Amino acid sequence: MLDWTDPHYRYMARQITRHTWLYTEMVNAGAIVYGDPDRFLHRNECENPVALQLGGSEPELLAKASAKATEYGYDEINLNCGCPSPRVQKGAFGACLMNEVELVSNCLNAMQDAAPDCAVTIKHRIGLDKQTEYEPLAEFVGTLRDKTPCRTFIVHARNAWLDGLSPKENRDIPPLRYDYVYRLKNEFPDLEILINGGVKTNEEIAEHLHHVDGVMVGREAYHNPMIMQHWDSLFYGDTQPEITYEALVQRLYEYAQIQLAAGRGSILRHMVRHYLGIMHGLNGARVWRHILSDAEQLKPNRPELILEAWEHVARSLKD
């Protein structure tokens, strides 16, 4: 979710669902330690529960980044062992770490020691390249269970091909093996096992929850954010009214006003690029997307543009 789940997106998501855990985009631990931590760790106060996802393979560096993250109020720090991109592989982290379980153990232990009051978790694939056996996956998880305090495993139910496929192709071409993730939960009932990959509907989420402890939704929650509108009532038992489209638009307008007035370098385009899918499936959705992606209309940085785009949708809904 690089460049996707930034603070602007996470603010929007939190307005739609009060209880769902939010995850940052993957941040290189070195960027936090050697760069400007506020740039990478800034979050909105309303985001919790929220997890920081780190990329890295040096225990000491990951520990320093984890310690810094606790100062910013994150509830969870997640180690990414699932990203297959060549850029990440060059840094010797991401999915290729599944071949280095001892190193992963050292990383997780160092992170937990540095952030003792924060949950440290891992996200990984079911295997690498064209490996089809279940046993290496179980051995990877079992080793980490025995050698680290990590008890939450987020499993993308596809292999990561380190050669021959682009990151985009890695999200679609390797076949989904949900049964492997279900099997992990059966074999390791003491662990919290979350499933990820290809989930597009609330019905699919409900089905997975018969077999595992949780579901991570990525692309669908980005391109169709209002899929989250019913999550609090469906999966958390919350009886409060769900947010309406009109109320969400008003909150996003007010948020844009605050961000632009703060003068931290934010421009309207940085925010509204995350809003394009809000009206997915509604009459007027095309006009909404057109207005909020029009460079000329965005240039003046007028937050009122959000309200004007909504007016077009509202009229379409009445017609």
Q: Which residues are annotated as a binding site for FMN?
A: 53, 123, 156, 196-198, 218-219
Q: Active-site residue among 46, 81, 83, 107? A: 83
Q: Which residues sit in the known binding site?
A: 53, 123, 156, 196-198, 218-219
Q: How far apart are CA 168 and CA 85, in angstroms?
A: 9
Contacts of 303 (CB under 8 A, 6+ apart): 253, 256, 257, 260, 268
| Spacing of C-alpha 163 from chain mean position | 24
46 labelled catalytic: no
Count of alpha carbons within 13 angstroms of residue 231, beta-carbon side: 24
- Identify the residue whose tokens are 């279940």: 134
Q: Which residues are known to be catalytic?
A: 83
